[in-house]
Amino acid sequence: MGVATFDAPPLERRAADVPVAEINTPVLGDAGALCEVWRTRQAIESGVHGGVRYARTADMLFGCIAVPENGAEISAASWATPSASAEKEQRTPLYVATERAYREILATLDALGYVHLIRVWNYVPEINRDTHGIERYRQFNSARQAALLASGRPVTGNVSAACALGAAVGSPLVVYFLASHSAPTFIENPRQVSAYNYPPRYGARSPVFSRAAVLHQPDGMTLFISGTASIVGHRTIHAGDTAAQTRETLSNIEAVLAEANRVTGSGEFALDTLACKVYVRCPSDLPVIQAELRAALGAAARAVYLQADICRRDLSVEIEATAMVAHTT
């Protein structure tokens, strides 16, 4: 249905073939080039809407878009002008690229009728770098929220699970996503402030995502856990201690699993059911993180490791996860 490649050469494909999101983040460990493949047993129809390549079944849609930041740079002088409007001050090349990506994604969902955005993956080049006096992650958050509001969609409560990670210098902004006709159940973490309610110290516009989403389908449920890190309340915990950050991250994931089990009445979502994608800021920290995951998930843990900057400079590791539970009836 859809593919995301990490640090892999371009895949050969026909114009009407499966959509491929090509992401420039190095793979760590022995995995080599990595392809993340989303599969279905249902019939698939592929197509293009604006800049979005997609494949869809009767129930689900996978899509992806890549938008380069090739707009004109805004001069430092114009950013320093007190009379400049706040909206004008936000319109950096990354802001423009993000707003375009989300407007095209949302227009695709409206045109094709898959109104519920379930899970979104965002890869932002140089996510922690300051440009035009503002961190690029904050520029991204402002543009994403503006595009959602312009389309009439919520920016609190029923919002998709998501993550936002760094990508290599010179890469385009890459976004891939899953959407559905049916509404998911959104899950929050009792240990954390919801991201969309973060205080202004983290940016003029908060990140827009839920901690997790559960998609209900006839043959079972799929749990999508957003990018999760060592944050309790809204503050980073254990800055400078990668092992402790990894353990705290796993505690947050366990809290999300417990909440998902409570809300759905399943009781079947557990750490050892997860397929994990682990983002590591410093490759030298990989052995420490792997050891903590093996201790928590067992030697047979399904995890892949990618080198990527994380949304906060004081975070060393971020983990996202997916789990599926089949209906026994």
Per-domain boundaries in the chain:
2-326
Among candidate residues 323, 227, 233, the one with its CA nearest the CA of residue 281: 227
Among candidate residues 253, 262, 264, the one with its CA nearest the CA of residue 215: 264
Cα separation, 155 vs 163, in Å, equals: 15
Instruction: Place 192 in a pLDDT band, splitting at 50, 70 and 90.
Output: very high
Q: What is the pLDDT of residue 71?
A: 55
Catalytic residue among 89, 99, 135, 318: 318
In the residue annotation, 89 being an active-site residue is answered as no
pTM of the model: 0.92
- Amino acid in the structure at residue 177: F
Write the DSSP assignment of 36-75 as a string of letters: EEE--SS--EEEEETTEEEEE-SSEEEEEEEE---SPPPP
Cα separation, 87 vs 221, in Å, equals: 41
Whole-number mean pLDDT of the chain? 91
Section 181-208 average pLDDT:
96
Q: What is the pLDDT of residue 13?
A: 59
Cα separation, 284 vs 269, in Å, equals: 31
CATH number, domain 2-326: 3.30.1330.40
What is the percentage of the chain residues whose pLDDT exceeds 70?
A: 91
* β-bridge pairing 52-56 and 317-326: unpaired
Q: Higher pLDDT residue, 241 or 14?
A: 241
Q: What is the pLDDT of residue 218?
A: 84
Q: What is the pLDDT of residue 73?
A: 44
Condensed to tens digits (0 to 9), the pLDDT of residues 6-58 reads: 987 777 655 458 999 999 999 998 877 889 999 998 999 999 999 999 999 99
- Whether pLDDT at 128 is above 50: yes
Give counts: helices (H), strands (E), the chain.
6, 19
Instruction: Place 85 in a pLDDT band, splitting at 50, 70 and 90.
Output: very low
Chain-centroid distance, C-alpha 170: 20
